[in-house]
Amino acid sequence: MTTGEQPTLTILVPVRNEEMNLCVMLRIFRTMIDCTHEVLVIHDTEDDKSIPVVRAAQAGYAGLRLVHNKLGCGVVNAVRAGVAEAKSDIVGILCADDAGPVLVIEDMLALMREGCDFVSVTRYAHGGRRLGGSLVSGVLSRAANWIFHYVIGSPFTDATTGVKMFRRNLFEKFHLESRPIGWAFAFEMAIKA
């Protein structure tokens, strides 16, 4: 992306000392994302170890920016700060420690171009799987998603994943009420979408 060019997509990456993962993730973004985009790395504190990684990468990555979250600690506040700084009408949320979803960004963007306002990836359909986390959190995630999809009738098979894409003007309408720490807001976004 050149200076002054309007990005098609803004990717938000909330971080807390993700220097190792972020280094790899930024390389993957540059290689895998074909559209004009910006990446906003959102940190809560000025001593976050992710900051030097971003500053070093900025020389060769025109769309890479640091955003200091001044709204209060936590992922939901980092996302709020990132949405406020986004230059694109389409915003995606990705985790610095999960490279897999980068492969579906173009597919998610295609759905947005077809008229979707909100897109969420799934780990529980079409051969997907959940990696990491405890057995208990895995069981709870599957149970919550099963109930949400089959009992309540949601179109999402994995509402609890943090990998989302949405129109920026929709974000304000969510009126998120989740606690700032943790990724519960991602489930709340899917419920409200």
**Same-domain pairing of 65 and 41:** yes
Question: In the prediction, which pLDDT does 49 show?
Answer: 96
Considering only residues 113 and 121, tell me which one the structure prediction assigns the higher pLDDT. Answer: 113
Q: Please tell me whether residues 24 and 117 are part of one structural domain.
A: yes
DSSP state of 72: -
**pLDDT value of residue 119:** 87
Q: What pTM does this model have? A: 0.81
115, 148: one domain: no
- Residue carrying the six token digits 């599957």: 142
Mean per-residue pLDDT over the chain, rounded: 83
Would you call 103 exposed, middle or buried from its count of C-beta atoms within 10 A (0-12, 13-18, 19+)? exposed
Hey, CA dihedral for 46, 52, 54, 60, is it positive or negative?
Answer: positive
| Percent share of the chain, pLDDT over 90 | 45
Specify if 19 maps to a domain: yes
**Same-domain check for residues 77 and 26:** yes
CATH number where 101 lies: 3.90.550.10
Q: What is the pLDDT of residues 14-56, one digit of tens each?
A: 999 999 999 999 999 988 898 999 999 999 999 999 999 999 9
Query: Is the pLDDT assigned to residue 193 strictly greater than 60?
Result: yes
DSSP string, 122-143: -SSSTT----SS-HHHHHHHHH
pLDDT digits (tens, 9 = 90+) for 66-118: 999 999 998 889 999 999 999 999 999 998 877 667 778 998 899 999 999 98
| Structural domain containing residue 145 | 131-158
Domain count, the chain: 2
The residue ranking higher by pLDDT, 179 or 91, is: 91
Closest C-alpha among 95, 96, 98, 116 to residue 107: 116
Beta partners for residue 12, in sequence order: 40, 93
Report the pLDDT value the prediction gives residue 151, as an integer from 0 to 100.
67
Interatomic CA distance for residues 41 and 43, integer angstroms? 7
E-strand stretches of the chain: 9-15, 37-43, 64-68, 90-93, 118-120, 164-167
Looking at per-residue pLDDT, the higher value among 175 and 17 belongs to 17
**Is residue 176 a part of any domain in this protein?**
yes
